[in-house]
Amino acid sequence: MQSPKDCRAAVLALASLWIAGAAMAQDAKPVYRCPGPPVLYTDALSAQEAKDKGCRTIEGAPITIVQAPPRAKPPVAGNGASVPRGGDTKIDPASQRARDSDARRILADELRAEEERLAAMKAEFNNGEPERKGDERNFAKYQERVAEMRAAIQRKEADIVALRREMAKLPQ
């Protein structure tokens, strides 16, 4: 039989676990389901961005992870050697250079467009003091918009870093 002291310790441990779980549930970011081909599930949007894109939260909805089927073994030729699959064939170097060039051009165009969007966002942000809109009589509403703008700028900067990283992977 356990002593009352042990029971109290167990009850306190369970209570602290319950409180920690509740705190984690409050800190969890909402997951949004955004329409359009393809349907997008994300937690990287602010509430205002999700609203603008027509996304809706899927709070409380179970998230299902579907496991990919196992890969099929490559077919074996009559003498025991593997038959080359589509991905195992050699690509002509000139064709590969053309693909790399196209990929670099596409990424450069996208990078340029993202940098222009970032510059426009920073100009509107005005070093943390954007112009107040007519519907922002309440200072808290203004501060919320400033925080959303700051978060959007940080996401845009992360996107630019990712594009530069992808460009660095491509051969010159």
Q: How many CB atoms lie within 10 A of CB 156?
A: 18
Residue 4 domain-assigned (yes or no): no
pLDDT confidence tier of residue 18, bands split at 50, 70 and 90: low
29 three-state secondary structure:
coil
**Which range (27-31, 66-70, 94-98, 166-170) has the least confidence?**
27-31
Are 100 and 166 members of one domain? yes
pLDDT on residue 23 = 47
- In this prediction, residues 40-48 reach a mean pLDDT of 79
Q: Are 167 and 107 in contact (CB under 8 A)?
A: yes
Condensed to tens digits (0 to 9), the pLDDT of residues 95-136 reads 888 999 999 999 999 999 999 999 999 999 988 888 888 777
| Domain final position from 44, 62, 80 | 62
Question: Of residues 17 and 137, which shows the higher confidence score?
Answer: 137
Residue 74 lies in a domain: no
Domain assignment of residue 80, yes or no: no
- Both 165 and 112 in one domain: the answer is yes
Same domain, residue pair 42 and 99:
no
In a domain, 88, yes or no: no
In a domain, 84, yes or no: no
pLDDT for the residue 46: 82
pLDDT band at 45 (very low <50, low <70, confident <90, very high): confident
Per the prediction, the chain carries an average pLDDT of: 78
Residue 76 lies in a domain: no
Name the token pair of 50.
């999700």
- On whether both 49 and 116 belong to a single domain, the answer is no
Indicate whether this model's pTM tops 0.85: no
Residue 20 maps to a domain: no
Are 152 and 97 members of one domain?
yes
| Burial classification of residue 45, based on how many CB atoms lie within 10 Å of its CB (0-12 exposed, 13-18 middle, 19 or more buried) | buried
Same domain, 127 and 171: yes
- The number of domains in the chain is 2
161 in a domain, yes or no? yes
Q: Are residues 55 and 98 in the same domain?
A: no
Residue 105 belongs to domain spanning: 93-172
